[in-house]
Chain A
Amino acid sequence: MGMATDAQFHVLAVDDSNIDRKLIEMLLKTSSFQVTAVDSVSKALDFLGFHEDEHNETITPSVSPNDHHQDVDVNLIITDYCMPGMTGYDLLRKIKESESLKDIPVVIMSSDNIPSRINRCLEEGAEEFFLKPVQLSDVNKLKPHLLKCRAKESQPNINNRNGLEERHSPDRTITSYGGLEVV
């Protein structure tokens, strides 16, 4: 299941606005990303194969019907903040609380420039916060985050993630969840 280091990065874009979805899709494709665009957080979670009890480590891996793993390889999630139903912030939290998904970088977009909102997202673990309308120069900021993740995957002896967070398990090896690699 190994991926070549120069394989395309796959970005999951989440936005309820038809226009903004089209726009972000184009921006990402222009930057040579592979894109999947969905219009809601619940669709995003479905796509990621997310299930509520993923952060509960007591699941037995054999015959449980809830034994789902991340079905697709997503290298980055970019999401609008304001959406009906679950917001981008809700998505961010769910991702960061999920054992299998928490290492996927998440970027938040918003048409509103609200410092407290921006801080909250960054504190919750968002890599970047883009103000809309998103520009190509913003999208160009994404590659470093992705290359950093990919570089770490090929160095299994690194103990911590840039020394930013404390981890329970000090060995940052390639995560394998049910046979699929998280790149």
Chain B
Amino acid sequence: MDVMSQLQRQWLEHSAFLRKEGYLDDQFEQLQKLQDESSPDFVIEVVSIFFDDSEKLLSNMARALEQKVVDFKQVDAHVHQFKGSSASIGAMRVKNVCIEFRNYCEAQNLEECLRCTRKLQFEYSVLKNQLEYLFRLEQQIRAAGG
């Protein structure tokens, strides 16, 4: 099998894996469908914005939870935003942790909120690695003439 076919197969397998394991849902596919010759980097651009926004939100959440008197409404506002952005790119696992997290914000349960932050950090990091791998494959495919 030539290099191109190998890369393409890897890409397909990795995409299928991400869907099957629930990292990504249909919405990610919708983004891919919107990408075309006039916007060939659309998905990478959107995901890059997602990475930037996510890191800010995670940092804001952590800081809000460190306060002597925690403002759970503020924490919830950050989680709500994160839930929205993860839903927009199809980051299903991240979105689901956000949903759980919001319940604990409403209950003002600090311990569970802290646990959720850690879980969110973890899911986000894993997703980021997975997507970066996918994009590297895409770059290689393009470089090989695809």
Contacts and interface: CB of A to CB of B under 8 A. Distances in A.
B11 interface: no
Interface of A: 17-20, 22-23, 26-27, 30, 82, 111, 132-133, 135-136
Q: Which 4 A-B pairs have the closest CB atoms?
A: A111-B84, A133-B88, A19-B85, A18-B49
A133 B81 contact: no
B30 interface: yes
A133 B34 CA distance: 14
Nearest to B36: A30
B71 interface: no
B83 interface: yes
Contacts of A136: 30, 33-34
Interface residues of B, number: 23
B67 interface: no
A103 B31 CA distance: 32
B30 A133 contact: yes
B45 A22 contact: yes
A20 B34 contact: no
| Main SS at interface, chain A | helix
Given A19-B50, A133-B27, A136-B30, A26 B39 contact: yes
A136 B29 CA distance: 12
Interface of B: 27, 30-31, 33-34, 36, 39, 42, 45-46, 49-50, 52-53, 80-81, 83-85, 87-90
Nearest to B31: A23
Most buried by A among B31, B49, B83, B89: B49
A30 B36 CA distance: 9
A132 B85 CA distance: 10
A45 B81 CA distance: 24
B83 A18 contact: no
18 contacts: A17-B53, A17-B88, A18-B52, A19-B49, A19-B85, A19-B89, A20-B84, A20-B88, A22-B45, A23-B31, A26-B34, A26-B39, A26-B42, A30-B36, A82-B80, A111-B83, A133-B27, A136-B30
